[in-house]
Amino acid sequence: MSKPTHKPSLTGAQSIICGDLKMVGSESTGLLQCLHRVIRRDVVSKRACPPADSAARDGYCFEAAATRCASARQPAVLRVRGTIRSGDRPRLSIGRGQCARIMTGGVLPGGCDAVIPAEEAWVEGGHVKVRRLVEPGTHVRRAGEVVRAGEIVAGRGDFVGPGLLGLLAAVGIRRARVSRKVRIGIISTGNEMVDADVRPRSWQIHDSNSVMLAGLGEELGSEVVSLGIAKDTGEDIAGHLRAGKACDVVILTGGSSIGISDLVPAALKNHGCRILIRGIRLRPGKHVVFARKGSKVFFGFPGRPGGCFGLFHLLVKPAIMAMMGSAKPIPAALTAVWDGGATQRPAVDTLIAAHLGSGSRVRPVSDAGSGDLAAVARSNSLVLLRAGTDLLRKGDVLEVIPVRLA
């Protein structure tokens, strides 16, 4: 069990973490239970979407050729044959010089290939006057323009979000084979930690990290288990590690540094883990620990909440996505324009809690360092500020990792 001899970059750490990870098992489950899982077998559409040519607007449908010579001075006059509502079985057949009133989503009857919106039609008696040329396909949703019958609508490795879930439902899918939920165990360490329902003394603090990490795990669709608070002894940490034997991922917060109470690295070794990362070239992250034991993975995080929050998104999330079989487990950074003040770049790559606003402009959330939970709560993104000697100025383009939608 050799000790890692160098600290990798963030990219290097992500590569080590995601490399050669064993995927969790899969299961066939109902559609709603597929949310926040990864597709493990290609899903083929059972029907086209839309299933038939239909109206994209409320209006009147007809054969476009009938308006070939239409103008404001000499409009095409079409006799209204009837009304077609969304959900009606198409029974009409429209001939030249005829039309039908149609609602959005209504299936176009035979003989029709165009729709004119109601607000553009001049209705007089039982006739509609069209004052311009209307091209075939105008305001028509073609059958299969979204998905064709028999087309792969969700491929192996796709993450199922609400949008994909809706698309699967639209093409008749009721079950899919997806990854099982990844089981995450969370251990907080520290003699100063107490649970939320305990009234702390002046030398104690509430354990917020495990609650925050549990929320992040639930957000990914994982099954989260609290393994409790371990005291700063090797024996107590070891006992909590044994309690997580059914977990795929175990996260320990606190105790990963090099102080006399930082016992997590030694406890992981004694637990039979192989430590692959002992610190990375990122702040916060200098003392992060990553280890494996068989197919299980272990993370040792610093105790500061901001560090836990950022490192979960950049290290734990890729591991979970890879274990579920995601085709793209590592989140791609976006680019945004710095809207904060001029500042000296750091000596090491640094994560900054930030708010990404309109126009892809990002500004820091005022904070008191990586321990400021209020800054984490107000942020919707993380700025990855690369190390350098030049001055960071307003208008510079930076890498940004979104961490929530609102």
* pLDDT per position as a tens digit, 225-235: 999 999 989 99
249, pLDDT greater than 90? yes
Name the β-bridge partners of 319.
Answer: none
Task: Kindly report, residue by residue over 251-273, the tens digit of the pLDDT.
Answer: 999 877 776 667 899 999 999 99
**Residue range 379-387: mean pLDDT, rounded:** 92
Q: Are 176 and 164 in contact (CB under 8 A)?
A: no
Q: Are 312 and 252 in contact (CB under 8 A)?
A: no
Q: How would you classify the pairing of strands 127-130 and 122-124?
A: antiparallel
- Indicate the fold that domain 28-49+145-179 takes in CATH: Molybdopterin biosynthesis moea protein, domain 2 (3.90.105)
Backbone phi, then psi, for 190, in 5-degree steps?
135, 130
The residue extents of the domains of the chain are 10-24+181-324, 28-49+145-179, 54-141, 334-402
2, pLDDT greater than 50? no
Residue 175 sits at the vertex; the CA angle it makes with 174 and 181, to the nearest 5 degrees, is: 135
Name the β-bridge partners of 364.
Answer: 354
10-24+181-324 maps to CATH 3.30.1330.10: no
Least reliable range by pLDDT among 116-120, 206-210, 264-268, 394-398: 206-210
Backbone phi, then psi, for 207, in 5-degree steps?
-75, 100
Least reliable range by pLDDT among 39-53, 100-114, 133-147, 190-204: 190-204
With cut-offs at 50, 70 and 90, classify the pLDDT of residue 405.
low
118, pLDDT greater than 60? yes
Least reliable range by pLDDT among 104-108, 114-118, 137-141, 206-210: 206-210
As a whole number of angstroms, the distance between CA 108 and CA 137 comes to 11
For residue 264, give Cα distances in angstroms to 148, 234, 257, 269, 283: 54, 8, 8, 9, 19
**Residue range 25-37: mean pLDDT, rounded:** 96
As a whole number of angstroms, the distance between CA 239 and CA 233 comes to 10
**Residue range 347-366: mean pLDDT, rounded:** 91
**Residue range 278-292: mean pLDDT, rounded:** 91
The domain 334-402 is placed in CATH, from the list 2.40.340.10, 1.10.340.30, 3.40.50.11540, 1.10.150.530, at 2.40.340.10
For residue 322, give Cα distances in angstroms to 11, 16, 73, 212: 15, 12, 65, 22
Residue 76 belongs to what H/E stretch?
strand 76-84
Residue 206 sits at the vertex; the CA angle it makes with 201 and 208, to the nearest 5 degrees, is: 170
- Indicate the fold that domain 54-141 takes in CATH: Molybdopterin biosynthesis moeA protein; domain 3 (2.170.190)
**Residue range 113-118: mean pLDDT, rounded:** 97
Per-chain mean pLDDT for the chain: 91
The proportion of the chain whose per-residue pLDDT surpasses 70, expressed as a percent, equals 96
What pLDDT is recorded for position 83?
A: 95
**Residue range 125-131: mean pLDDT, rounded:** 95
**Residue range 352-361: mean pLDDT, rounded:** 92
Task: Give pTM, 2 decimals.
Answer: 0.86
With cut-offs at 50, 70 and 90, classify the pLDDT of residue 406.
very low
Q: Quick check: helix, strand or coil at residue 354?
A: strand
1, pLDDT greater than 50? no
**Residue range 104-108: mean pLDDT, rounded:** 97
DSSP state of 366: P
